Amino acid sequence: MKKDIHPPYHMTKIRCACGNELETGSTIKDISVEICSKCHPFFTGKQKLVDSAGRVERFIRKYERAKAKEQGQGK
């Protein structure tokens, strides 16, 4: 490795807005983040699926109509 071309490497703390702190190595001394794995909805299981324009309801209605039509023809 060449000397004097690499930035200094420090042990640093990453602080989240929720209060969680992680210790790791980085070239940046202190890091602040807005969201981490302790408070992110994907990792906490509180993720909500957003249905835009009622696509799921439209699919369910279409499937129910097809099923009703199929049952009506079978009788």
* CA contacts within 13 A on the Cβ side of 32: 3
Per-residue pLDDT of the chain (75 residues; tens, 9 = 90+): 688 898 999 999 999 988 889 999 999 988 998 888 888 777 677 766 565 667 778 888 888 888 888 887 655
Which domains, and CATH codes, for the chain? 10-74 (4.10.80.400)
How far is 30 from 13, CA to CA, in rounded Å? 6
Q: Per the confidence metrics, is the pTM higher than 0.85?
A: no
